[in-house]
Chain A
Amino acid sequence: MAEDQYKPHPSRDDAAEFRYHRRAFLVMMALFLVAPMVVYPVFVMKALCFALFACAFNLLLGFGGLLSFGHAMFLGMAGYVSAHAAKVWGFPPEFAILAGTAAATVLGVFAGLLAIRRQGIYFAMITLALAQMVFFFSLQAPFTGGEDGIQAVPRGTFLGFLDLTNTYVLYYVVLAIFTAGFLLIYRIIHSPFGQVLKAIRENEPRATSLGYRTDHYKLAAFVLSAGLAGLAGATKAIVFQLASLTDVHWSMSGEVVLMTLLGGMGTIFGPVVGAFAIIAMENYLAELGSWFTITQGAIFVVCVLAFRRGILGELEAWLRRRRAG
């Protein structure tokens, strides 16, 4: 699976890279801190949830080289569990979110054990099929509410003192969750574990011959990605007070692939950019119905044919060329 376009940063000085990431991170955080004063906060919260979802997905695709076409199962299942925990069991929001995340992690262990038995295209088909199974389960299981989903989920009080019925309090809690997830993913990518993962992506037989149990690493990456996708889904259910079939449907799995591809797979900030772009587009094109689907498809085609590094990948390549020249 060693392909040029997968390499996010060929031969760049680590210190320079760290400085670039720190600067970009500070700019991003500054934008998010003031965003609710300028933009409708619910829109930004939705985009933040999807950005975390896309970052979790990118951990698996961009750094592990594994294309999962079923990540909606983690987003959706975590949403159901967290909504159920908050509404029926009366969990406070922080424990509801934890319960959802834990459910997605456990699901990730089982799905991962099955999916990593095959590679490449088969891996994508297996994850898609497993997600479809979870979709039908969600349609029929008594606790998910079938077509209606779980509605009117109480937001409650976060950690006992943050009243989430206030939109601004909710916004900064969501931002904190996103930031924690984002930094965790950054840490994972730059840990020795992340390095081994990249080595497996580039050349699995060589990683095996160096003595790494590649299956263990792939499974760990899958479970981490599933859990973080679950964190995004659980948070989303609390924010929108709703867990529904939309979040487990295969089109959601396609959407997160699109966000990552458009933003730039294998880049740190690309999935965030991609998520905001797609959610903004959805906002404006939603009333046009099938045009949104057509546009999504067209973006896929254009990205694959002409624009494989995505927005951030192209931008970084351009900056690098300018610095070199």
Chain B
Amino acid sequence: MTEIFGKPLPVIMGQMLIGLINGSFYALLSLGLAVIFGLLNIINFTHGAQYMMGAFAAYFLLNKLGVNYWWALLLAPLAVGATGVIIERLMLSKLYKLDHLYGLLLTFGLALIFQGAFRHQFGSAGLPYSIPESLSGGQNLGFMFLPNYRAWVIVASLTVCLGTWFVIERTKLGAYLRAATENPSMVQAFGVNVPRMITLTYGFGVALAALAGVMAAPIYQVNPLMGADTIIVVFAVVVIGGMGSIMGAVVTGFGLGIIEGLTKVFYPEASNTVIFVIMAIVLMIRPQGLFGSR
């Protein structure tokens, strides 16, 4: 059997795959955080809870309404994104004139409420969500077995990330968005409805989190606390990448996922902390983040 540094190749490949899967979610979640931060200047602490709500929405659609995975991919982000729009209109919009820290505190409070409410309703045990029929099974690649669903998650996540990058960097809508990030009052003076744009941007960021939640539902169990620890790792990812660029968020997300997977093979004790250690090193060498600008 082929070995690399004394570890069998299938083991390494297996962990690489898990790393890529985790990286897909890091990328999607940090992308949502970056989009929201760009326009609202708020770090959305509720992001982890909204990711969890996306998974629960998928669970509900399947088990209560009989709506399948593919529709859930569309409906769950719309539903959770709508709650995001309500949150922005009712609460976040009142805070833009204040110190940014209040946005962090508010969204942290909302995360506690959502997580507490779901735990109250469903308990802390995970609920299973089965892989859709068309994506079950897998491919034998010779050196490893690749489950179809996992391949789909990686491809879908990459597609969504690149699509978002394209919309923001290459379309007229994205140009408005970037302009509003630079100078909201100037864009408003040109007749663009900036407050509505802010609301929809928050809704979109939240929908991205929910989409990640739907994709995660068949892989991890649907659990009220599934987003609580993930979001802290994603914060570290965001600090490492810097929130300046969309591409930066995507590259850092996938890269760190892979590094985390490899750490599980070579030094499992550190697999939980490796991302935080990298964050510390990046802060020492390049405090603005790998892709960040001052």
Contact = CB atoms under 8 A, between A and B. Distances in A.
Interface residues of B, number: 45
Interface of A: 1, 3, 5-6, 67, 69, 114, 117-118, 120-122, 124-126, 128-130, 132-133, 136-137, 139-140, 250, 254, 257, 261, 289-294, 296-301, 303-305, 308
Interface in B271-287: 272-273, 276-277, 279-280, 283-284, 287
A118 B91 contact: no
Interface of B: 37, 42-43, 91, 94-95, 98-102, 104-106, 108-117, 119-120, 228-229, 232-233, 235-236, 238-239, 269, 272-273, 276-277, 279-280, 283-284, 287-288
A45 B83 CA distance: 42
Contacts of A293: 112-113, 115-116, 119
A293 B94 CA distance: 24
A117 to B, nearest CB: 4
Given A1-B99, A305-B91, A132 B276 contact: yes
Which of B100, B111, B112, B228 counts the most chain A CB atoms within 10 A?
B112
Contacts of B279: 126, 129
A163 B94 CA distance: 54
Contacts of B115: 293
Given A114-B284, A132-B276, A125 B235 contact: yes
A297 B91 contact: no
Given A114-B284, A125-B239, A297 B110 contact: yes
B239 A126 contact: yes
A118 B101 CA distance: 14
B232 A294 contact: no
Contacts of A254: 108, 112
Nearest to B42: A121
Contacts of A124: 43, 101, 104
Contact of A120 (B94, B101, B110, B280): B101
Contacts of B284: 114, 117
A278 B191 CA distance: 48
B75 to A, nearest CB: 26
A137 B232 CA distance: 15
B119 A121 contact: no
A117 B101 CA distance: 17
A176 to B, nearest CB: 33
A114 B280 contact: yes
B283 A114 contact: yes
Contacts of A257: 105, 108
A125 B288 CA distance: 13
A297 B238 CA distance: 24
A120 B232 contact: no
A304 B109 contact: yes
A250 B104 CA distance: 15
Contacts of B233: 129, 132
B99 A125 contact: no
Nearest to A132: B232
B119 A290 contact: yes
